[in-house]
Structure formats: structure tokens, C-alpha cells
Amino acid sequence: MKKITNSFLLFALIFSISCLDEDLGKSKPDIKQLYASKTFLEVNDTTKVFVVAEDPNSGTHLSYSWDKSGGFFTGKTDESEIIWQAPSVGGNYDITVTVENEGGKRRREIELTVFSMEEPEIEFANLKDNDFVSSAQKTFLIETNAFHSNGIEEINIFINNQLVSTCPAENCSFNWNVENLSGNFAIKVTAKSNSAGAPIGTKEINVSVEGTIWE
């Protein structure tokens, strides 16, 4: 009787281990593709995002969940496709899908770009309208900054409508030789954003250069 009981326990243990191995051996979902009907959008526009996934295990079920770094989902978010609405602010946004089965989870993300149509914002870092600049310092550093939610492609600095500096970045400066200068000068800055079709930003100020008086 004892031998039969031991044999039964051994069989039960082997059966349990084999079942455990079978559960642990189940594979995670295989995400084949994640794509959007439009990857470049204007503000408040919508696009569909699709995921194509396969379950390597027979008889199991795939479940879907979606997340976003901005914007809005419209409709269901537990299926293999969703509708995403862009926010009112331009920039790059990530859409993440999680596909799950009995074997575990897999995630993948796609980046969508939203273009804003507003002009870049421009500021002078060290000058304001109607400022005075002394020619005694010989040179004066003009410093400017520009901002746009899609980034800045180029900044140009003009003095009396003459181009004096071009910078491919958000910051631009020009070392202005003011020695022997005197009078009023118009300093204009233009900025072009990375948003296709957005207007070019412009800001202009007037400054007076004071000549040196020798006694």
C-alpha cells in the first residue's frame, strides 16, 4: 500500500512539473508591425494607428492597450487599431501599444509629428527697443533667441536691412563693430521654424549708437 501511495505521489509530482513547464514555455506575442495612416499632422488633426501582432501559442487570446505622450484617443483603446487626435501644440508625440497573452507582454511605440502653424517667437537677449549702445566699447555682441514647438531651422540678423549673421539653431549672435559709428540703427531678426508652411517670424528694434566725444 505504501509503495502504491509513493508511486501515485511521484506521478502527481511529474504531472504537475510537466504542466508548469508547459505554462512557463508559452511565448509572448510577436508584434509584426506598428504603423499610422498619417505620421505628419497639423494641430487637432486625426490619424489611425494600427498594430499587427501574432500569437505563437495556439488557443490563447491577444489583448491590446494603448498609451500616448500627448493628444487624445477617440473611441476604443482595447483593439488592434485606435484613432488619435493631435493636440493644439506642435511637437513629436509617442504612441505606445502593449500586446499581451498568457506568455507575457510586448510593447512597441511609434513617433508622430504635429506641425504648428504659428510664427516663431523671437527675443533679444541683451537689447530692447530704443536702447543706447556706446561706440567706446568698439564691439557689441547682439544675442537673439527664437522658439517654436517644432524647433527652429534658421535665424537671420539684419542691421539696416543688411544681412550680417545666419545661424542654423535656436540661438544666434553677431559681434557688431560699433567703433566710429554714430546714429540710429534698425536691428531685425527673422526666424524660420521646422514646421512646413508656417510663417516666418520677424522682430525689429531700433537702437542708437553714441559716438565717443574727445575733449
Assigned superfamily of 26-115: Immunoglobulins (2.60.40.10)
Residue 12 pLDDT > 90 = no
pTM, rounded to two decimals? 0.72
Q: What is the pLDDT of residue 215?
A: 47
Higher pLDDT, 152 or 8: 152
Least confident range from 27-31, 57-61, 193-197: namely 57-61
How do residues 175-185 score in pLDDT, each as one tens digit?
999 999 999 99
* CATH number 3.40.50.12280 is the correct assignment for the domain at 121-210: no
Alpha-carbon gap, residue 11 to 5, rounded angstroms: 10
Using the 8-state DSSP alphabet, how is residue 14 labeled? H
State the Cα–Cα distance between residues 11 and 23, nearest whole angstrom: 19
CA dist 19 → 22, 118, 137, 190 (Å): 5, 62, 85, 70
pLDDT digits (tens, 9 = 90+) for 53-79: 999 887 778 999 999 999 999 999 999
- Kindly report the backbone phi and psi dihedral angles of residue 181, in degrees, each rounded to the nearest multiple of 5, phi listed first: -95, 155
Which part of the chain is CATH 2.60.40.10?
Answer: 26-115, 121-210
pLDDT-derived band at 105 (thresholds 50, 70, 90) equals very high
d(CA 49, CA 33): 11
Confidence category of residue 104, pLDDT binned at 50, 70, 90: very high
Mean of pLDDT values over 174-195: 96
Strands 81-85 and 46-54: antiparallel
